[in-house]
Amino acid sequence: MGRGQPEVHISSAPQRGPECGSRFSEQGKSSGIRMESEPLSFSRADCEMGPTSDRPICVTKQQQGEGLLLFKQTRSGKRIRCPSTPVGFPPVLRFSPLSIDPSGSKEIAGGIHESNPSGPLLAQKVMVCYHTEDGGGTPLGSSASKGSPNPGTSSASEHRATQFDRVVTEEQILKRKGLSDKLVTTLLGSRKDTTRAIYFKIWKRFNSWCLSKEFPPQEIFSVLEFLHEGMELGLAASTLKTQVAALSVFLERRLSQEQLIIRFFKALARARPVPFKFFPKWDLSLVLRALTKEPFEPPATATLRLWSLKLVLLVAITSARRVSELQALSIVEPFCCIFPDRVVLKTDPGFLPKVSTAFHRTQEIVLPTFCPSPANATEKSFHTLDVRRCLLHYLEITSEFRKSNSLFIAFSGPRKGYSASKNTIARWLRMAIMETYSASGVEPPAGVVAHSTRAVATSWAERAGASPNRICKAATWTSFTTFTRHYRLDLLSASDQAFGRKVLQAVVPP
């Protein structure tokens, strides 16, 4: 051929070291029959090198021409060998079970190869569409994908449900920031236990709603959809604002400053404008006149129940305080000081008002006297509304069974003598108004709430000439705007009719 004699190494099969850089599985030296990845066998060449082309050769130098490897039929011995492939074109298209990863194959535990030569061959994972790299998917055709215990649900929806169903508490959120248990307990004290319970209830309801809608709870559009659905159900703007405050705590975002949230409440205000004039649901003049007569007077004939109702109503309208503050009043000095012309009450130091500031916690409740020295029948009738007089008689008749230092105690039932709860005091206020209407022979109004005593008391005080400072101090409001926007009642509606009557008087000729 015009070239030097090549060096030829004749062997039965090429020997491989312990590590192989090819795509085949790692093989070691073995003198016995071996399992081969391809169902092929090579013919042996034991004779001298000659001009034949039917046996494999290993040439260390480049040769002219191309080497050709032919398949050779082999017999099946005692051991099970891979089936040989005849020379020719296969009738079907087959995929190689070997990995096409260029980094080389990896050993499989136990020395067993994944491929099954006798079964149908499948494509590798890299050839399957929508393959995930997080290891969460299951191979095609595996038993894990044969069915779900819940028909109609997929693994993706189950994964989302696991995320939505996780409801954390405010305490857990603070601990995740690395804060100590003592510091977490201190921070949780910034809100009342009832407020925290309400916030957590809203948070759980929001997560359940997101789960049903398949919305991510951390997105702002989910909060907006939740608020909008509440608006369609008829929730008040104050209730929706409470929900925003609750979700801000758990989402750790100031939702009230989000532009879309601000825009939502502006649209709500336009859709549901708040009327500027409120009309009282019950008449204070009628109620006070009824308290000066039977069955509320005289004290000797009035029952404990009616006297308790009378006192709690007089304290509520003369102090303009919330029910929670009335429940926190005590009869122990220095929280209860009785003077000849007034009674000064203070809430218990452990009580936390709705707005816990120094201004709200230091305001005293002054219960005045009324016509202390009556001179005629009219003044004697007015003297029956003296709050100091009613309080002294109440303390006297309840001293026999009193078991609490709270001002208002239960007068019947299994808790007789113990402190009355906020719900009980609120019910007493409603019952007192209904009893006065019934005693006057007038049908009681509908929709009366205990909180209306604050609006009625402050509105009548303004009409009588009380200054804005006195009104705000009595009701513990830092701004007079709170009264004008939320509590002021229209008590002059009758006088507003005078103009129309003057016009209609034109029917009478001058």
Contacts of 176 (CB under 8 A, 6+ apart): none
Task: Work out the pLDDT band at 354, boundaries 50, 70, 90.
Answer: confident
Residues facing residue 409 across a β-bridge: 419
Is it true that the peptide bond before 86 is cis, omega within 30 degrees of 0? no
Q: Which helix (H) or strand (E) holds 485?
A: helix 480-486
Q: Which helix (H) or strand (E) holds 249?
A: helix 237-251
- Whether the per-residue pLDDT at 142 is higher than 90: the answer is no
In single-letter form, the type of residue at position 69 comes to L
pLDDT tens-digit profile of 466-486? 899 999 988 888 889 888 888
- Whether the per-residue pLDDT at 84 is higher than 60: the answer is no
Q: Which two tokens stand for residue 156?
A: 């993706």
Maximum mean pLDDT: which of 101-115, 139-153, 367-381, 389-403: 389-403
**What distance in Å separates the CA atoms of residue 258 and residue 227, rounded to the nearest whole number?**
14
Calculate mean pLDDT across residues 129-141.
38
Task: Work out the pLDDT band at 170, boundaries 50, 70, 90.
Answer: confident
The larger pLDDT score, comparing residue 506 to residue 394, is at 394
The larger pLDDT score, comparing residue 92 to residue 279, is at 279
For residue 145, what is the DSSP state? Answer: G
Answer yes or no: are the C-beta atoms of 317 and 464 closer than 8 Å. Answer: no
Calculate mean pLDDT across residues 453-476.
90
Answer yes or no: are the C-beta atoms of 123 and 97 closer than 8 Å. Answer: no
pLDDT tens-digit profile of 147-164? 433 344 344 444 443 343
- Whether the per-residue pLDDT at 172 is higher than 60: the answer is yes
**What per-residue confidence (pLDDT) applies to 488?**
86
Q: What is the mean pLDDT of the chain?
A: 74
Using CB atoms within 10 A of its CB, is residue 428 exposed (0-12), middle (13-18) or buried (19+)?
Answer: buried
Closest by alpha carbon to 212, among 252, 154, 168, 160?
A: 160
What three-state secondary structure class fits 366?
strand
Maximum mean pLDDT: which of 76-85, 88-97, 323-332: 323-332
What three-state secondary structure class fits 263?
helix
**What distance in Å separates the CA atoms of residue 7 and residue 61, rounded to the nearest whole number?**
7
Contacts of 104 (CB under 8 A, 6+ apart): 20, 21, 22, 23
- Whether the per-residue pLDDT at 9 is higher than 70: the answer is no
The larger pLDDT score, comparing residue 353 to residue 205, is at 205
Lowest pLDDT segment from 169-183, 276-290, 490-504 = 490-504
pLDDT tens-digit profile of 195-224? 899 999 999 999 999 999 999 988 999 999
Is the CA virtual torsion 52, 55, 59, 65 positive or negative? positive
Q: Which residue has the tokens 């002054």?
A: 366
**What distance in Å separates the CA atoms of residue 205 and residue 209, rounded to the nearest whole number?**
6
Lowest pLDDT segment from 169-183, 215-229, 346-360, 377-391 = 346-360
Go through 188-214 and write b for each residue having 16 or more CB atoms within 10 A of its CB, e for each that does not: eeebeeebbebbbebbeebbebbeeee
**What distance in Å separates the CA atoms of residue 432 and residue 309, rounded to the nearest whole number?**
5
**What per-residue confidence (pLDDT) applies to 307?**
95
- Whether the per-residue pLDDT at 23 is higher than 60: the answer is no
Q: What DSSP line would sit under 371-394, residue for residue?
A: SSS--SHHHHHHHTT-HHHHHHHH
Closest by alpha carbon to 489, among 468, 464, 444, 458?
A: 458
Answer yes or no: are the C-beta atoms of 454 and 280 closer than 8 Å. Answer: no
How big is the chain, counted in residues? 510
For the chain, percent of residues with pLDDT exceeding 90: 38
pLDDT tens-digit profile of 297-322? 999 999 999 999 999 999 999 999 99
- Whether the per-residue pLDDT at 90 is higher than 90: the answer is no
**Alpha helix segments (H runs only) across 95-236:** 155-164, 170-176, 181-188, 193-213, 220-232
What three-state secondary structure class fits 9?
strand
Is the CA virtual torsion 58, 59, 62, 68 positive or negative? negative
The larger pLDDT score, comparing residue 107 to residue 255, is at 255
Lowest pLDDT segment from 107-116, 236-245, 254-263, 442-451 = 107-116
Q: Which two tokens stand for residue 259?
A: 């532009």
Cβ-based neighbour number of residue 34 at 10 Å: 12
**What per-residue confidence (pLDDT) applies to 353?**
77
pLDDT tens-digit profile of 396-407? 999 999 999 999
Task: Work out the pLDDT band at 498, boundaries 50, 70, 90.
Answer: low
For residue 368, what is the DSSP state? Answer: E
For the chain, percent of residues with pLDDT exceeding 70: 64
Lowest pLDDT segment from 86-95, 167-176, 376-385, 389-398 = 86-95
Lowest pLDDT segment from 69-78, 411-420, 426-435 = 69-78
Go through 368-402 and write b for each residue having 16 or more CB atoms within 10 A of its CB, e for each that does not: ebbbeeeeeeeeeeebbbbbbbbbebbeeebeeee
Domains in the chain: ranges and CATH: 1-86 (no CATH), 170-271 (1.10.150.130), 284-486 (1.10.443.10)
Calculate mean pLDDT across residues 260-288.
86
In the chain, % helix, strand, coil (3-state, to 5) comes to 40, 5, 55
Calculate mean pLDDT across residues 140-152.
38
Q: Which residue has the tokens 């000797």?
A: 300
